[in-house]
A and B are shown apart, each in its own frame.
Chain A
């Protein structure tokens, strides 16, 4: 379970996050929806413990990510906005390295590595250096290394960004599987169909504030629109007027 409580963050005079409060439950997929610059990535960076909020608290399974970032990180697998790889290492070595950094070793580690390689269908390239991999293959490797410690909470920042159809489907399947396993999945996106199809709960963020929360139907009902996209535009637009 991931809880955001009145998070605020400014960069100089720009207030990137004004007030973000929401909860992502276990066994559910929570979508973070918002236009570019709404504060999604900043919120997730605060969750990761790499950025300190100006105010508020973030908790992962009850562990404060600000006070105990390592404890929160151990309970969380994250695919950040930028997820570069090491060109001279193979997918297997990438996953193993992150496993070791989580304190895994020996047979257990090797089993997890093998499991992830077959789950993400990386078998054919597992022993090859990642230099020259396609965008889809790179994303899969980055995903695999983020999941090696079997985290109860999975956070994905725009995971399908720039992926082709096949890779996008693989990522969506993975998200569903994680939910079935009872994990808490939080992911950000600005692709409406994806959010609508996958999410049990949608958090709409605009101008650093949570402007609406609920299922796709609830958001449509609330705004009186027929599609999620129209509902989203109307919600974001309202916030824009308020800010101006």
Chain B
């Protein structure tokens, strides 16, 4: 049997890991950061969205257009308030998100069917005001269109003549998918958890073992090197899988609690979605640990290993950074590429577009195969005199 005494190595590394405060802390942090941030950010976004639905519009010069103001007041969720005297300054000073200013020539021009001047003052750099500004602009345009229709009818012209185009806005992305672009960073958090959860054990059982000179005595035992490597790998992977499980399950509960319907999402993430996410990310935990072990074994010292592994942490953030430029959803050919595949599949699952089962299999097989290659390479490294004696 090739993997003799594997259990002894696994048990020892688990015991050592559980007693190591650093490995427990990294497990905890990696599991909690994602869900906490998700909860926080989504409640903020939802709050902002709600504030756009129930909008209060400061209007200056209401007396110049009483009919228009009445119409505004009748719209659901709209409250008209008196605007500040110095409208531009109020917006610049952030006392108001926007101000509608009705010109004193409004009623005169309006009655003569000349375009009546209305100014909307807003600050384009303010993201938080954007949904509200969009809402008010839509209201103003709708009023304009309604009046135009009435005028044409009064002139005996069919309003259809004035509308050469019949524009139907058909949104292809489901509302779930739209919310998924906002949820896009959840896969990154879960994949990060795979990278952080087992990091300490992966480093401590390789570079750490050499640093405290316990590596040579360990290798004096009549155990095949592959058993040592696989035992250590499984211990690190167990921690990484635990981090993934915690992170995914907590994210799941966080999403359930977030008022997503306020964001216009008909959102449904149930147990099948959670299970799919786990099926994608758990193989990733094994790969992350294998990669970290290989690097930590290759490094000349513990310090060197830590700096390499610090750089490695950028890897799971790469797809997240790419996503806004190059959308990774619905790209089945990415499945066999570790990390990218996971990112893409999780995004699809969260977007309510369950990928076919074979893609899950492809992603898992490719990821585990890569991990096994790395483990085979690490086993080779464990035979090298330079690695054993630090030459």
Physical interaction between A and B: yes
Footprint of A on B, CB under 8 Å? 4-5, 8-9, 11-12, 15-16, 19-20, 212-224, 385, 388-389, 391
Which of B214, B220, B389 lies in contact with A78, CB distance below 8 A? Answer: B220
Interface size class of A (residues with CB under 8 A): 20 to 34
B222 lies within 8 A of A74 (CB):
yes
Query: Which of A26-34, A98-106, A110-118, A214-222 has 4 or more CB atoms under 8 Å from chain B?
Result: A98-106
The smallest C-beta distance from A158 to any residue of chain B, in angstroms, reads: 14
B220 touches A86 (CB 8 A): no
- Minimal Cβ-Cβ distance residue in A for B227: A101
Which residues of chain A have C-beta atoms less than 8 A from B221's C-beta?
73, 98, 101-102
- Report the stretch among A43-51, A120-128, A178-186, A199-207 that lies at the interface: A43-51
Looking at A79, A88, A145, which has the most chain B CB atoms within 10 Å of its CB? A88
A233 at the interface (CB under 8 A from B): no
Contacts of B388 in A (CB 8 A): 50-51
Indicate the member of A51, A76, A100, A101 with the most B CB atoms within 10 Å. A101
Beta-carbon contact of A73 and B5 below 8 Å: no
Contact of B220 among A73, A84, A85, A103 (CB under 8 A): A73
Say whether A211 faces chain B, with CB atoms less than 8 Å apart. Answer: no
A85 touches B5 (CB 8 A): no
CA distance A81 to B389 in the complex (A): 11
Contacts of B219 in A (CB 8 A): 48, 50
In the bound assembly, the distance between CA atoms of A142 and B212 in angstroms comes to 13
Question: Residue on A with the closest CB to B212?
Answer: A84
Whether, in the assembled complex, A83 has its beta carbon less than 8 Å from a beta carbon of chain B, the answer is yes
Q: Which residue of A lies closest to B20 (CB)?
A: A88
Instruction: Tell me if B5 and A103 are in contact (CB < 8 A).
Output: yes
Q: Least Cβ distance of A61 to chain B in Å?
A: 13
Which residues in chain A, 137-165, are within 8 Å of chain B measured between CB atoms?
A: 142, 145-146
Could you name 21 residue pairs across A and B whose Cβ atoms are closer than 8 Å? A50-B216, A50-B385, A70-B223, A76-B220, A84-B215, A88-B20, A89-B12, A97-B8, A97-B12, A98-B217, A100-B8, A100-B11, A101-B8, A101-B9, A101-B218, A101-B221, A101-B223, A102-B222, A103-B5, A129-B19, A146-B220
List, in ascending order, chain A residues with CB within 8 A of B389's CB: 45, 50-51
Distance, CA A52 to CA B212, complexed state (A): 24
Q: Are B214 and A51 in contact (CB under 8 A)?
A: no
A71 at the interface (CB under 8 A from B): yes
Q: For the complex of A and B, list the 3 residue pairs with the smallest distance between their C-beta atoms, beginning with the closest.
A: A84-B213, A100-B8, A82-B213
Complex Cα distance, B217 from A129, in Å, reads: 18
Contact between B217 and A80, CB atoms less than 8 A apart: yes
Distance of A60 Cα from B40 Cα, bound (Å): 65
Given contacts A84-B213, A98-B221, A100-B5, 19 further A-B contacts (CB under 8 A): A45-B389, A48-B220, A50-B385, A50-B389, A52-B385, A70-B222, A70-B223, A73-B220, A73-B222, A78-B217, A83-B214, A83-B217, A84-B217, A86-B12, A93-B12, A101-B8, A142-B217, A145-B217, A146-B217
Binding site for B on A (CB under 8 A): 11, 45, 48, 50-52, 70-71, 73-74, 76, 78-89, 93, 97-98, 100-103, 129, 142, 145-146
Chain B, residue nearest A11 (CB): B391
**Complex interface: chain A residues within 8 A of B20 (CB):** 88
Q: Tell me which residues across on chain B come within 8 A of A102, comparing CB atoms.
A: 221-222
Q: Please, how many angstroms separate the alpha-carbon atoms of A71 and B19 in the complex?
A: 33
A93 and B15 contacting across the interface, CB-CB below 8 Å:
yes
Q: Which residues of A contact B215 (CB under 8 A)?
A: 84
Shortest beta-carbon distance from A78 to chain B in Å: 5
Q: For B212, what are the chain A residues with a Cβ–Cβ distance below 8 Å?
A: 84-87
Q: Which of A51, A73, A82, A86 contacts B385 (CB 8 A)?
A: A51
Bound Cα distance A93, B292 (Å)? 27
Q: Which residue of B lies closest to A98 (CB)?
A: B221
- Closest A residue to B219 by CB, please name it: A50
Known: A45-B389, A50-B219, A78-B220. A84 touches B214 (CB 8 A): yes
Question: CA–CA, A84 to B214, complex, Å?
Answer: 4
B391 near A71: Cβ-Cβ < 8 Å = no
Taking CB atoms, residues of chain A closer than 8 Å to B12 are 86, 89, 93, 97
Residues of A with C-beta under 8 A to B15:
89, 93
Of A74, A86, A100, A146, which is in contact with the most chain B CB atoms at under 10 Å from its CB?
A86
Complex CA distance for A145 and B217, rounded to whole angstroms:
9
- Closest beta carbon of chain A to B212's beta carbon, Å: 4
- For A48, the chain B residues whose CB sits under 8 A away are 216, 219-220
Q: A76 vs B355: C-alpha distance in the bound complex, in angstroms?
A: 56
Residue of A nearest to B205 (CB): A86
Identify the closest chain B residue to A51 (Cβ): B385
Q: Which residues of B contact A45 (CB under 8 A)?
A: 389
Instruction: Give every chain A residue within 8 A of B218 (Cβ-Cβ).
Output: 101
